[in-house]
Amino acid sequence: MSRSSARECLAPGTVVAPGEVLVATEIGDPAHGRLDCPAAPLVGGLLYRRGVRVRYAPVPRSADASQADDGAALFVTTSLRGDGTATAIGAAASSVDGVAMAAARSAVEEWAAVSGTRRLLGAVSPWCPGARRAVEATRQALAQGPVYVCGQLMASPQASADLEKNGAVFARSLDDVPAGATLLIPAHGVAPGVRTEAAERGLTVIDQTCPLVAGVQAEARRFAERGDQVVLIGQSGLAVLPAILGEAPDHAILAETRAGAGAVQVADPRRVSYVLVPGVPVEDTPIATAALRSRFPALRGPDPDGFCYAASDRAETVRTVAASSDLVLVLGTEDDPDTRHLTALARSNRAKANVIADVTEIIPSWLAGVSAVGLAESTAAAPGLAARVTEALSGLGPLSVTRRVVSTEVTGRPEINPSGG
Ligand code: SF4
């Protein structure tokens, strides 16, 4: 997996201040011409963690000491990508600053030591098909003028901020929406009262309720209309809950998947139904449904063709990626619940898993002996981080980039996309 140690040469015309290391973003090489340095953020991150002042810049020229007598000291290694083009890892320091020179050499050599051929296995986007469609619909509607979004979209903070910049307004209630405005209903839907009020206010409604959410709403309504109490098997805090609870007011009870349904209290045990709240992995629900069945033998359930498998597929994809990887990089933040969930999934398959919020946080020793790296993107991942990690790793030798997707297709509902879309 390793390649030769750093070559020391000069960078004529490049000046580096004492106490500073310049991490090369590209290097002019006398033999190969201009060399890209995609791994520059990795080198810079390592130096930064060591307390070194780091600057990123191109090094337009490099030359052997025998052919030049000025410029900063440059430490460099080169390798080939899969397509045969050469890349470099390089760092420069003032030739009178021994400490900075040692730091630059060491950083280049440590990354060179873990360079080699690798596979990168990307997992799916953290956003489900329904959420992605709603974001796209908002973008398109903004071309015609301002759009009031009812609540929040399931999207990254960056995507939401971009939409806001282009005229989207995230309204907490219809009181914030002027009469006659355009109202977009997100994928997780709204309670029926909101639709009625929107019609009364003369709002133009763009309804992006996911078909699977609409299906669960219809089932909850139907169960409630025949007098059942409806147990919603899911998790508190899910954005979709108000839309489903609103279809069965005074009839609905939430049963958390983890706690099971043993504590659910009903007025008439012969009149109980349940639905699965979309967004919860289907395989997390059997304990709760079994508990309900044992307590209420006349329990009525939903049409399984209407189940959303987005969360199940995402979890299974991460497990599969982890099973094929020596290391999983979980993109997100340590304090984020979704990041912790993905990390636990990856580790459940005995893969090494490390959380990074930025590409500069990758540590060389993580990659020692690693020939397959998995990437799992949480909802807290910074926009574009997956692409930046991929680019940086491509500077450590030939990198084959693949994407793995586990997708459940419900054959009885061909009009709705796999993975719950
Ligand atoms: S039902 Fe499933 S696919 Fe639809 S918005 Fe909810 S999580 Fe996404």
pLDDT tens across 106-160, in order? 999 999 999 999 999 997 788 898 999 999 999 999 999 999 999 989 998 889 9
Nearest CA to ligand 1 atom 3: 420
CA 135 to ligand 1 centroid distance, Å: 13
pLDDT tens across 146-201, in order? 999 999 899 988 899 999 999 999 999 999 999 999 999 999 999 999 999 999 99
**Within 13 A of 159's CA, how many CA atoms are on the CB side?**
21
Nearest CA to ligand 1 atom 5: 130
**Which residue out of 132, 308, 312 has the highest number of ligand 1 atoms within 8 Å of its CB and is therefore the one to mutate?**
308
pLDDT tens across 295-344, in order? 999 999 999 999 999 999 999 999 999 999 999 999 999 999 999 999 99
Whether the CB of 147 sits within 6 Å of ligand 1: no
CA 212 to ligand 1 centroid distance, Å: 6
In this predicted structure, what is the pLDDT of residue 264? Answer: 87
Q: Where are the beta strands (DSSP E) in 268-421?
A: 272-276, 327-331, 352-356, 372-377, 399-403
CA–CA gap between residue 212 and residue 219 (Å, rounded): 11
To the nearest 10°, report the CA torsion of 176, 177, 178, 183.
170
Q: Which ligand 1 atom sits closest to the C-alpha of 134?
A: 5
Q: Which ligand 1 atom sits closest to the C-alpha of 213?
A: 1
Whether the CB of 89 sits within 6 Å of ligand 1: no
Backbone angles phi, psi at 57, to 5 degrees: -165, 155
**Percentage of the chain surpassing pLDDT 90?**
82
Nearest CA to ligand 1 atom 7: 279
8 A C-beta contact, residue 13 and residue 60? yes
pLDDT at 403 over 50: yes
pLDDT at 26 over 70: yes
Q: What is the 3-state secondary structure (H, E, C) of 74-97?
A: EEEEEEECCCCCEEEEEEEECCCC
**Percentage of the chain surpassing pLDDT 70?**
96
Report the DSSP beta bridge partners of residue 89: 77
pLDDT tens across 265-300, in order? 899 999 999 999 999 999 989 889 999 999 999 999
8 A C-beta contact, residue 274 and residue 295? no
Q: What is the pTM of this model?
A: 0.87
Q: Report how far Cα 170 is from the mean position of its chain's Cα atoms.
A: 22
CA–CA gap between residue 15 and residue 96 (Å, rounded): 11
* Helix (H), strand (E) at residue 245: helix 241-245
Mean pLDDT score, 401-411: 92
pLDDT at 1 over 70: no
User: Do the two domains 121-125+310-403 and 129-209 of this chain adopt the same fold?
Assistant: no
Q: Report how far Cα 114 is from the mean position of its chain's Cα atoms.
A: 26
CA 421 to ligand 1 centroid distance, Å: 6
Q: Which ligand 1 atom sits closest to the C-alpha of 240?
A: 6
Tell me the CA distances in angstroms from 396 to 90, 126, 232, 328, 367, one per residue in order: 12, 27, 49, 17, 10
CATH topology of domain 121-125+310-403: Cobalt-precorrin-4 Transmethylase; domain 1 (3.40.1010)
Mean pLDDT (the chain) is: 92
Q: Which CATH architecture has domain 129-209?
A: 3-Layer(aba) Sandwich (3.40)
Mean pLDDT score, 238-249: 94
In this predicted structure, what is the pLDDT of residue 419? Answer: 45
CA–CA gap between residue 377 and residue 58 (Å, rounded): 30
Q: What are the structural domain ranges in the chain?
A: 7-115, 121-125+310-403, 129-209, 212-271+285-295
